[in-house]
Amino acid sequence: MKRYRLLVVSVAGVVLVLVGLLVFGNLNRNLVYYLTPEEAVGRRADFPDGRRFQLGGLVRDGSVDRSSGGLRFVVSSGLDATSSSVTVEHTGAPAQLFQVGIGVVVEGSWQGGRFVSDTMIVKHDENYRPPATEGAAP
């Protein structure tokens, strides 16, 4: 009977260790981080032309230039003029909530001296406000 208990406890321990390895061992490969403009410029050598990564920051005021194929804007670490910044050329339609001053994460790669992206995620708050309708009470 003692051997049976020892066998059950040993098997349960091995199963728990394997489950832990599967859950937590693969977690690092599934996490996706983004670089701030300061980090992206500082680690430029780590990301040669064509190697994709995510860049995140705030859309600088007065930097948005829309075109038929997408838009060009500046992402900075902060809204002040002294913060690090990177010019982004985004192809395709921007996210619906895209605007100046909002947090944005773009995915793409360096191409020469510019960052070209094709995927955009914008940050928004958790409060939903439906669009105003005419004649509605405030």
Q: What is the dihedral of CA 92, 72, 96, 133, to 10 degrees?
A: -130
Check whether residue 61 and residue 113 sit in a common domain: yes
> Is residue 134 pLDDT above 80, yes or no?
no
Q: How confident is the model at residue 69 (pLDDT cuts 50, 70, 90)?
A: confident
Domains held by the chain: number: 2
Check whether residue 115 and residue 61 sit in a common domain: yes
Q: State residue 89's pLDDT score.
A: 94
Check whether residue 73 and residue 97 sit in a common domain: yes
Distances (CA, A) of 29 to 17, 26, 33: 19, 5, 11
Q: State residue 54's pLDDT score.
A: 93
Under a CB-based contact definition with an 8 Å cutoff, are residues 65 and 108 in contact? no
Q: State residue 74's pLDDT score.
A: 92
* Residue range of the domain that includes 12: 1-31
Check whether residue 43 and residue 102 sit in a common domain: yes
| Residue 78 belongs to a domain | yes
| Residue 41 belongs to a domain | yes
Q: What is the dihedral of CA 35, 53, 64, 111, to 10 degrees?
A: 120
Quick one: which H or E segment has residue 86?
strand 85-91
Q: How confident is the model at residue 7 (pLDDT cuts 50, 70, 90)?
A: confident
Q: State residue 31's pLDDT score.
A: 64
Going by C-alpha positions, the residue among 68, 53, 129, 66 that lies closest to residue 100 is 66
| Residue 129 belongs to a domain | no
